[in-house]
């Protein structure tokens, strides 16, 4: 028996402690800004204004948010099965291939809303396929999925460069990218929606794939907490031995969870490929797969938390760009630092403040409550 | 501590009768006073006072969770006491780490061996006592020292053998060698016979007597009264974190010790009527299970369990009982042989626990923490684990949460599970209540065959009686029950027939009235020829 | 391919293998102690940046090296604190460190030097220059042995020699010393080490510190020996190739050298073959050669060519159990 851990109220566990962790991550980020010699409060002001202060800013924020919802969900679904999928980057990259193939096959013949379902299927299928091999190797041969998914990110990068340079770029073009899609391969932007509120989205690329992202959130919530498969995924993630005892095939669950995870990562490609650039470019994922790790950790692998965390990171990415413009000393790499600190404090150091908070609660709570806790099992 | 403790218990902490001593007048090898230790809000040790005389074998008995291992871990520096003093040969010592304990001449053989599997015996022995920055000189010295210890204490073992390839008995010997190599005068053994056959245990006891005759002090932690009576000079009884009595072994008996352990007269026999066995509901024929390492865990086992009987499987743990249960439950694939439920088709081919549940086989696993429950699940989620595919809990792919919770509430009421909250996390229930969650789940489906492994392990005494009554009631309702337990007393109290397993085989069968010595011989694999005949 | 060309490719393989080897041995110490480290990349990158910056400011390669070691140790201590003291998830911590290094180096590089994240060009004593081994000039014209000694063995900078000397040293430490015995034990069964009276955290912190030192040296090699300054993301996945090499070597020092030389060789060949035509195969895409180390590692992990079994206690925080 392990030493019992003091029980804390639920709102402390899922509210106070995560909030504290993220707050500390941002405080340390503030120290980095101070160290560079700028005013952190001023930086926050510029950042928030850049992200939310005007229509175009909001449009960019939502664009980034869409990416991070997909990749955050991808990491979260794998988490629930007890798997760490670091391969979101590569799966999203391959998802781009699926999206582009669907778009290029249909864009000249049908309108976007006919292309979209095919593109969704293509993106999900290719992303899932790229997750399948690491999943299979983990389930059947016990190869550590963290390492194999890392390796698959690099393999994906090489594969995609080769495809784009040698096979997908239009004849005569030196650019490593596909042709630009026709109107049937372009997703409508949210500009109209912005105008309804009297705002101008300008050149921001926010598009209707954010609706797909929100639908994916709903899907993940139902899938994990309301279906038999989700029940089996959670059982496997929390106690694999008990899952086997219950007749749940861990091989099946590992593979299904990774397929869903890879598909969600793959869907992320809709947003930049069909929603923004209307073509497949080298390195279009730009680290969104990794941001998904921070988003999932911060959002505690729950869709609502993920949407909030994704929005926060969307703000950081957009506001960070504005910040780099106004304070040249603080380049956009600041976001990567913040992302790292969030992963560190909300992930690796998530229990750092727990003992202190538990002590504080023990001091505050009445003697009656202390006696109640004392009634636990004698060890 | 509650202030209204009765006086007899208070007095009990001091030895009521003079203890056995090897040398009168010598300072005790170990003296503990006022030791307190809490984990979070649980007090594992309360105001412990203990005197262990030099050159004696001192037993410490108590139920699971009485605080024996915690106390010894404090003495060995694995934990630090919140309060209290430790004296070694009359001198007060601070033991902040195992290093300090070793320096004070204390060695410990843990229940789970502390060995590095891919190291040689020699490397394991010198770990932490290498005798210099470079290994070479230390290894040579250790080799010579090992030879001396082997001669002196009958502790033969090949110094170059790889630990992972040695049988358990020899691994334990390496643990003792480790302690002696570090110059231990006092040796603590924590439940050393749990993994041994009776003959290996006998050998161990010979070694312990040899150690005693050389002037070493031995502290033996066990929950087996037989061992206490067989080998110790003095004995201390622990209950709920306290030492309730210390007395010379010669002046007490198992009944008195048992009473001290549980605090009131134990019901040694379970109230049950004569069995009325009917048709066989579970048949196992020539079942063989070979594990991933190629070891035959279950070897050509055949038996039947009939309606209305409890068949107990006795044996030292690690002789294939766990694998047998898992193979019948479908968790572990059978290598060859057949398994039938009530004359249905042979199930041994596909290992599919879900299918077998539907066919009326229920399984209370040996280890509820590891296998029977998902501790982070809500109670209601655990109360359908394994049955979650049933149409009453799901409509197509979607779970019916209301049905699950309603069902859980019913079971909570019938089995008096406390607290009665089906939304509470399972980890927040006590051990006894967790076991009730498992039992309720497995029994309420009205299975025809019930597999039960270690039903009362780590369960408080009140829950034990409840669980035993439930099992007998199931039997009387015409179910077939296969019971695996390492507690021979439990097997004898509940079973209508007893099968004894040794080294993966069933080596004998006996009735519940069988003589304990006879069963012990069979468990050691000695009497299998005559017993099987 | 004639001898000169072969020697040149091998020479280039040695140069490319050096940072891999240092990072790989760094990972070996950490993972043998039971602390998984996917943050080799980040520590190397931080080391490279610190080396580039300090070497520029002071004009001293040695001070650059020291700074690299210091920066990598700082990150190693973060990883140690998270994994050992706080018993956090070692993979998550490693991911965080990689991002922290990637973000901080680019951010500070831009803030301090305003050259898009890179550090200014170094020259002279601010870099480690090539050493000519005794007798190299004299032997230069001896057939076969001459070019091998002059090109392949002589003429590298100090860090290359340090890296390759670390291999026998690591073997010796691991298998001939008390520290090595305890290090191997703590990665397999920390409880055995604890009950033997040895502090598990102290032992693991020392392993993590050695890991920091070696990744720091690897970073310094990239910035102030192989190149003349730091550029953004100059490790470009080398930390992960080193990790792959470590798995390939099954956590043993000599095979680690073999794996790093193999991956270095693949890299050297890929550079040389860029666009070249190989008989019977045609033009080998350079991306294929780049992906080969990762593909090989996956194949190995899949158990199709031998089995890579990591230290048993790796990745699991040590908690005392009753």
CATH number at residue A296: 1.10.3470
Residues A185, A122: Cα–Cα separation, whole Å: 13
Residues B304 and B246 in one domain: no
Min Cα separation A295/chain B (Å)? 23
Min Cα separation B74/chain C (Å)? 10
Residues B92 and B226 in one domain: yes
Token pair for A110: 């049908």
In this complex, is the C-beta atom of B408 within 8 Å of any C-beta atom belonging to chain A?
no
Q: Which of A141, A338, A349 sits opposite C82 (nearest CB)?
A: A349
A339-343, B516-520, C164-168: range with lowest mean pLDDT? B516-520
DSSP secondary structure of B122-159: HHHHHTT--SSSBHHHHHHHHHHHHHHHHHHHT----T
Q: Which residues of C touch B102 (CB under 8 A)?
A: 196-197
Residues B194 and B230 in one domain: yes
DSSP character at residue A148: H
In this complex, is the C-beta atom of C275 within 8 Å of any C-beta atom belonging to chain A?
no
pLDDT digits (tens, 9 = 90+) for B84-119: 999 999 999 999 988 999 999 999 998 888 999 999
Q: Note whether residue A349 is domain-resident.
A: no
Q: Which residues of C touch B99 (CB under 8 A)?
A: 197-198
Q: Note whether residue A94 is domain-resident.
A: yes
Q: Which of B101, B103, B127 sits opposite C193 (nearest CB)?
A: B127
Mean pLDDT in chain C?
A: 90
Residues B319, B524: Cα–Cα separation, whole Å: 10
Q: Note whether residue B349 is domain-resident.
A: yes
Position B464 confidence tier, pLDDT thresholds 50, 70, 90: confident
Which distant-in-sequence residues (6+ apart) come within 8 Å of C138 by Cβ? none
Q: Which of B98, B117, B138 sits opposite C195 (nearest CB)?
A: B98
Residue whose structure tokens are 């963290």: A146
pLDDT digits (tens, 9 = 90+) for C172-222: 999 999 999 999 999 999 999 999 989 999 999 999 999 999 999 999 999
In this complex, is the C-beta atom of A163 within 8 Å of any C-beta atom belonging to chain C?
no
Whole-number pLDDT of residue C14: 94
Mean pLDDT in chain B?
A: 86
Whole-number pLDDT of residue B1: 36
Q: Which of C179, C188, C194 sits opposite B116 (nearest CB)?
A: C188
Provide the terminal-to-terminal Cα distance of chain A, rounded to the nearest Å: 8
Residue whose structure tokens are 């967790």: B434
Residues A256, A238: Cα–Cα separation, whole Å: 16
Domain count along chain B:
3
Q: Which residues of B touch C193 (CB under 8 A)?
A: 127-128
pLDDT digits (tens, 9 = 90+) for B403-423: 999 999 999 999 988 889 999
Q: Half-sphere exposure (CA, 13 Å, Cβ side) for A326?
A: 17
Between C252 and A199, where is the model more confident? Answer: C252
pLDDT digits (tens, 9 = 90+) for B206-228: 999 999 999 999 999 987 778 88
Q: Which of C82, C104, C302 sits opposite A348 (nearest CB)?
A: C82
Residues B83 and B9 in one domain: yes
Q: Which of A234, A244, A379 sits opposite B331 (nearest CB)?
A: A244
In the listed set B262, B294, B323, which residue is the last one of a domain according to the structure?
A: B262
Chains that touch B (3 or more CB pairs under 8 A): A, C
Which distant-in-sequence residues (6+ apart) come within 8 Å of A42 by Cβ? A327
In this complex, is the C-beta atom of B352 within 8 Å of any C-beta atom belonging to chain A?
yes
Predicted structure pTM score: 0.86
Residues B289 and B361 in one domain: yes
CB C182 within 8 A of CB C160: no
The ipTM of this complex is 0.91
Residues A73, A302: Cα–Cα separation, whole Å: 8
DSSP character at residue A3: P
Q: Note whether residue A226 is domain-resident.
A: yes
Min Cα separation A244/chain B (Å)? 7
Between C275 and C5, where is the model more confident? Answer: C5
Q: Note whether residue A37 is domain-resident.
A: no
| Whether residue B383 has pLDDT greater than 50 | yes
Q: Note whether residue A109 is domain-resident.
A: yes
CATH number at residue B296: 3.40.50.300
pLDDT digits (tens, 9 = 90+) for C33-85: 999 999 999 999 999 999 999 999 999 999 999 999 999 999 999 999 999 99
CB C88 within 8 A of CB A347: yes
Chains that touch A (3 or more CB pairs under 8 A): B, C
Which distant-in-sequence residues (6+ apart) come within 8 Å of B124 by Cβ? B115, B116, B163, B174, B178, C192
437-476 of B, contacting A, C-beta below 8 A: 458
pLDDT digits (tens, 9 = 90+) for B21-51: 766 677 899 999 999 998 776 788 999 999 9
Q: Which residues of chain C approach chain B closer than 8 Å at the C-beta?
A: 175-182, 184-185, 188-189, 191-199, 312, 320, 322
Whole-number pLDDT of residue B232: 94
Q: Note whether residue B294 is domain-resident.
A: yes
Min Cα separation B133/chain C (Å)? 5
CB C56 within 8 A of CB C112: no
CB B363 within 8 A of CB B442: yes
In chain A, the DSSP E strands lie at none
CB A324 within 8 A of CB A331: yes
Whole-number pLDDT of residue C64: 96
Q: Note whether residue B29 is domain-resident.
A: yes
Q: Which residues of C touch A333 (CB under 8 A)?
A: 102-104, 106-107, 110, 117
Q: What is the mean pLDDT of residues C222-246?
A: 92
Q: How far is CA A24 from CA B330, C61, C93, C98, in A?
A: 49, 36, 16, 19
Inspect the interface and report whether the beta carbons of B116 and C189 lie closer than 8 Å.
yes
Mean pLDDT in chain A?
A: 90
Q: Which residues of A touch C302 (CB under 8 A)?
A: 137, 141, 143
Pairing of strands B234-239, B242-248: antiparallel
Domain count along chain A:
1
Q: Note whether residue A6 is domain-resident.
A: no
In the listed set B181, B207, B232, which residue is the last one of a domain according to the structure?
A: B181
Q: Which residues of C touch B114 (CB under 8 A)?
A: 189, 191-192, 194-196
Q: Which residues of A touch B458 (CB under 8 A)?
A: 1
Whole-number pLDDT of residue B27: 85
DSSP character at residue A280: -
Pairing of strands B505-510, B497-502: antiparallel
β partners of residue B505: B502
Q: Name the region of B400 (left: φ>0; alpha: ψ -120 to 50; beta: rest).
A: beta
pLDDT digits (tens, 9 = 90+) for C86-106: 999 999 999 999 999 999 999
Chains that touch C (3 or more CB pairs under 8 A): A, B
Nearest to A292 by CA among A270, A318, A273, A266: A266
In this complex, is the C-beta atom of C178 within 8 Å of any C-beta atom belonging to chain A?
no
Inspect the interface and report whether the beta carbons of A377 and B394 lie closer than 8 Å.
no
Q: Note whether residue B398 is domain-resident.
A: no
Nearest to A374 by CA among A1, A109, A4, A120: A4
Nearest to B76 by CA among B109, B50, B101: B101
Residues B293 and B252 in one domain: no
Residues B94 and B120 in one domain: no
Q: Which stretches within B371-460 are classed as H helix?
A: 379-382, 401-414, 431-443
Residues B320, B503: Cα–Cα separation, whole Å: 7
Whole-number pLDDT of residue C275: 64
pLDDT digits (tens, 9 = 90+) for C27-45: 999 999 999 999 999 999 9
Pairing of strands B217-222, B42-52: unpaired
Residues B323 and B446 in one domain: yes
pLDDT digits (tens, 9 = 90+) for B135-178: 988 899 999 999 998 888 878 889 999 998 888 888 999 999 99
Q: Which of A228, A229, A245 sits opposite B353 (nearest CB)?
A: A245
Q: Which residues of C touch B100 (CB under 8 A)?
A: 197
Whole-number pLDDT of residue B268: 52
Q: Which residues of C touch A143 (CB under 8 A)?
A: 298, 301-303
Inspect the interface and report whether the beta carbons of B129 and C196 lie closer than 8 Å.
yes
Residues A58, A45: Cα–Cα separation, whole Å: 15
CA dihedral sign, ordered A208, A209, A210, A216 = positive
Residue whose structure tokens are 């050695």: C210
Kindly tell me the burial class for residue B280, based on how many C-beta atoms sit within 10 Å of its own C-beta (0-12, 13-18, 19 or more): middle
Residues B150 and B286 in one domain: no
Whole-number pLDDT of residue C321: 59
In the listed set B181, B203, B229, which residue is the last one of a domain according to the structure?
A: B181
CB C160 within 8 A of CB C129: no
Between A329 and B295, where is the model more confident? Answer: A329
Token pair for A88: 């979101």
Whole-number pLDDT of residue C112: 92
Q: Which of C185, C192, C197 sits opposite B99 (nearest CB)?
A: C197
Q: Which stretches within B214-250 are classed as H helix?
A: 225-231
Inspect the interface and report whether the beta carbons of A376 and B353 lie closer than 8 Å.
no
Q: Note whether residue B177 is domain-resident.
A: yes
Whole-number pLDDT of residue B346: 80
pLDDT digits (tens, 9 = 90+) for C139-162: 877 877 777 787 788 889 999 999
Inspect the interface and report whether the beta carbons of A228 and B70 lie closer than 8 Å.
no
Q: Note whether residue B391 is domain-resident.
A: no
Min Cα separation A62/chain B (Å)? 32
| Whether residue C279 has pLDDT greater than 80 | no
Min Cα separation A171/chain C (Å)? 18
Residue whose structure tokens are 């090949």: B158
Q: Which residues of B touch C188 (CB under 8 A)?
A: 116-119
Which structural domain range is residue B119 located in?
109-181
Residues B484 and B343 in one domain: yes
In this complex, is the C-beta atom of B372 within 8 Å of any C-beta atom belonging to chain A?
yes
Residues B284 and B369 in one domain: yes
Whole-number pLDDT of residue A28: 95
pLDDT digits (tens, 9 = 90+) for B260-286: 876 654 555 677 888 888 899 999 999
Which residue of chain A comes nearest to B350, CA vs CA? A247
Which parts of chain A have pLDDT scores under 70?
A: 1-7, 365-379
Whole-number pLDDT of residue C307: 67
Q: Note whether residue B403 is domain-resident.
A: no
Q: Which residues of A touch C295 (CB under 8 A)?
A: 151, 155
Residues B512 and B459 in one domain: yes
Q: Note whether residue A2 is domain-resident.
A: no
Which distant-in-sequence residues (6+ apart) come within 8 Å of B286 by Cβ? B300, B301, B302, B336, B337, B338
Min Cα separation A351/chain B (Å)? 16
| Whether residue B361 has pLDDT greater than 70 | yes
Cis peptide before A354 (omega within 30 of 0): no
Q: Which of C102, C110, C310 sits opposite A336 (nearest CB)?
A: C102
Q: Note whether residue A227 is domain-resident.
A: yes
Q: Which of C96, C287, C319 sits opposite A158 (nearest CB)?
A: C287
Q: How far is CA C115 from CA A43, C121, C229, in A?
A: 22, 11, 12
Which structural domain range is residue A177 located in?
65-312
Whole-number pLDDT of residue A358: 84
Residues B445, A303: Cα–Cα separation, whole Å: 35
Residues A250, B292: Cα–Cα separation, whole Å: 17
């Amino acid at each position: 028996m392990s030493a019992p851990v003091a029980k804390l109220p639920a709102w402390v566990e899922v509210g106070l402690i995560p909030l504290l962790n993220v707050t500390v991550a941002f405080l340390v980020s503030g120290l980095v800004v101070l160290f560079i010699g700028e005013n952190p409060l001023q930086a926050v002001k510029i950042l928030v204004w850049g992200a939310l202060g005007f229509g175009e800013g909001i449009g960019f924020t939502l664009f980034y948010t869409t990416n991070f919802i997909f990749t955050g969900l991808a990491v979260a679904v794998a988490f629930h099965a007890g798997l760490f999928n670091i391969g979101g980057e590569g799966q999203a990259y391959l998802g781009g291939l699926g999206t582009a193939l669907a778009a290029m096959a249909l864009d000249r013949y049908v309108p976007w809303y006919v292309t979209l379902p095919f593109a969704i299927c293509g993106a999900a299928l290719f992303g899932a396929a790229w997750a399948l091999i690491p999943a299979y190797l983990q389930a059947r041969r016990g190869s550590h999925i963290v390492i194999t998914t890392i390796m698959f990110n690099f393999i994906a990068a090489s594969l995609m460069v080769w495809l784009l340079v040698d096979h997908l770029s239009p004849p005569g073009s030196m650019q490593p990218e596909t042709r630009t899609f026709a109107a049937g391969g372009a997703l409508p932007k949210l500009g109209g929606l912005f105008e309804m509120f009297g705002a101008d989205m300008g050149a921001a690329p926010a598009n209707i794939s954010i609706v797909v992202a929100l639908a994916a959130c709903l899907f993940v919530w139902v899938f994990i907490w309301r279906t038999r498969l989700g029940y089996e995924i959670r059982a496997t993630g929390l106690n694999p031995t008990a899952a086997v005892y219950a007749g749940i095939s861990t091989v099946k669950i590992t593979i299904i969870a990774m397929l869903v995870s890879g598909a969600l990562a793959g869907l992320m490609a809709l947003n930049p490929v069909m929603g923004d650039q209307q073509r497949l470019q080298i390195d279009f994922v730009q680290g969104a797969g990794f941001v998904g790790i921070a988003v999932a950790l911060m959002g505690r692998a729950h869709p609502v938390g993920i949407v909030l965390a994704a929005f926060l990171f969307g703000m950081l990415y957009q506001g960070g760009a504005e910040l780099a413009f106004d304070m040249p000393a603080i380049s956009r790499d600041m976001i990567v630092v913040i992302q790292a600190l969030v992963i560190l404090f909300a992930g690796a150091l998530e229990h750092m403040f727990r003992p202190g908070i538990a002590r504080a609660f023990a001091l505050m709570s009445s003697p009656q409550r202390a006696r109640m806790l004392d009634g636990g099992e004698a060890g | 501590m509650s202030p209204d403790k009765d006086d007899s218990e208070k007095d009990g902490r001091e030895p009521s009768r003079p203890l056995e001593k090897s040398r009168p007048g010598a300072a005790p090898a170990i003296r503990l006073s006022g030791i307190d230790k809490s984990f979070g809000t649980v007090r594992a040790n309360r105001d412990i006072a203990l005197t262990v005389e030099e050159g004696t074998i001192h037993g410490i008995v108590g139920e699971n969770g009485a605080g024996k291992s915690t106390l010894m871990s404090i003495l060995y520096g694995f934990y630090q006491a919140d309060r209290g003093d430790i004296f070694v040969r009359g001198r007060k010592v601070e033991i902040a780490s195992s290093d300090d304990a070793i320096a004070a001449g204390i060695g410990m053989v843990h229940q789970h061996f502390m060995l590095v599997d891919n190291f040689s015996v020699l490397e394991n022995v010198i770990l932490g006592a290498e005798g210099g920055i470079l290994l070479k000189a230390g290894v040579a010295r250790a080799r010579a020292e090992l030879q001396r210890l082997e001669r002196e204490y009958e502790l033969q073992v090949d110094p170059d053998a790889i630990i992972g390839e040695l049988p358990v008995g020899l691994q334990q010997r390496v643990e003792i060698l480790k302690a002696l190599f570090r110059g231990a005068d006092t040796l603590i053994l924590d439940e050393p016979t749990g993994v041994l056959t009776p003959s290996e245990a006998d050998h161990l006891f010979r070694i312990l007597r040899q150690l005693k005759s050389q002037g070493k002090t031995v502290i033996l932690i066990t929950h087996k009264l037989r061992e206490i009576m067989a080998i110790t000079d003095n004995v201390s009884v622990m209950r709920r974190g306290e030492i309730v009595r210390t007395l010379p072994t010669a002046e007490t008996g198992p009944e008195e010790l048992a009473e001290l352990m549980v605090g009131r007269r134990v019901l040694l026999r379970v109230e049950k009527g004569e069995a009325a066995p009917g048709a066989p509901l579970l048949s196992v024929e020539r079942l063989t299970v070979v594990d991933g390492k190629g070891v035959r865990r279950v070897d050509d086992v055949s038996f039947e369990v009939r309606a209305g009987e409890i068949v107990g499987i006795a044996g030292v743990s690690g002789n294939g009982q766990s694998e047998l249960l898992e193979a019948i439950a479908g968790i572990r694939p059978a290598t060859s042989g057949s398994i039938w439920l009530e004359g249905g088709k042979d199930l041994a081919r596909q290992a599919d626990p879900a299918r077998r549940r539907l066919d009326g086989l229920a399984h209370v696993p040996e280890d509820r923490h590891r296998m029977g429950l998902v501790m982070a699940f809500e109670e209601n989620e655990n109360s359908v684990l394994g049955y979650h595919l049933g149409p009453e809990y799901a409509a197509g792919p979607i779970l019916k949460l209301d049905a699950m919770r309603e069902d859980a509430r019913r079971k909570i009421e019938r089995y008096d599970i406390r607290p009665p909250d089906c939304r509470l996390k399972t980890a927040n229930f006590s051990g006894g209540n967790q076991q009730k969650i498992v039992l309720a789940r497995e029994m309420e489906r009205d299975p025809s065959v019930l597999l039960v492994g270690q039903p009362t392990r780590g369960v408080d005494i009140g829950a034990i009686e409840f669980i035993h009554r439930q099992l007998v009631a199931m039997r009387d309702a015409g179910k077939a029950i296969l019971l695996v337990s390492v507690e021979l007393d439990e097997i004898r109290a509940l079973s209508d027939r007893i099968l004894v397993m040794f080294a993966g085989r069933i080596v004998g069968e006996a009735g519940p009235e069988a003589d304990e010595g006879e069963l012990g011989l069979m468990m050691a694999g000695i009497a299998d020829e005559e017993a099987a005949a | 391919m004639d001898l000169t060309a072969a020697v040149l490719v091998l020479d280039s393989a040695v140069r490319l293998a050096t940072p891999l080897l240092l990072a790989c041995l760094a990972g070996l110490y950490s993972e043998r102690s039971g602390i998984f480290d996917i943050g080799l990349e980040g520590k190397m990158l931080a080391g490279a940046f610190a080396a580039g910056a300090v070497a520029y400011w002071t004009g001293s390669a040695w001070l650059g090296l020291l700074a690299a070691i210091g920066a990598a140790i700082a990150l190693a201590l973060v990883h140690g604190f998270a994994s050992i003291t706080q018993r956090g998830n070692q993979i998550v911590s490693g991911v965080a460190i990689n991002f922290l290094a990637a973000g901080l180096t680019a951010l500070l590089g831009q803030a301090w030097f305003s050259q898009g994240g890179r550090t200014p060009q170094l020259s002279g004593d601010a870099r480690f220059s090539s050493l000519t081994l005794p007798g190299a000039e004299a032997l230069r014209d001896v057939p076969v042995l001459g070019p091998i000694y002059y090109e392949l063995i002589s003429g590298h900078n100090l860090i290359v020699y340090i890296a390759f000397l670390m291999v026998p040293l690591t073997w010796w430490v691991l298998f001939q010393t008390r520290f090595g015995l305890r290090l191997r034990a703590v990665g397999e069964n920390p409880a055995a080490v604890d009950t033997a009276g040895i502090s598990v955290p102290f032992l693991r912190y020392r392993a993590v510190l050695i890991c920091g030192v070696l990744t720091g040296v690897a970073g310094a090699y990239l910035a102030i020996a192989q190149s003349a300054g730091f550029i953004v993301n100059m490790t470009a996945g080398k930390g992960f190739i080193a990790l792959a090499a470590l798995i390939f070597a099954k956590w043993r020092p000599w095979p680690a050298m073999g794996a790093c030389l193999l991956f270095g060789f693949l890299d050297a060949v890929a550079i040389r073959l860029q666009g070249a035509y190989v008989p019977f195969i045609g033009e080998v895409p350079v991306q294929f050669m780049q992906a080969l180390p990762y593909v090989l590692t996956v194949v190995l992990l899949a158990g199709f060519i031998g089995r890579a079994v990591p230290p048993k206690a790796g990745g699991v925080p040590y908690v005392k159990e009753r």
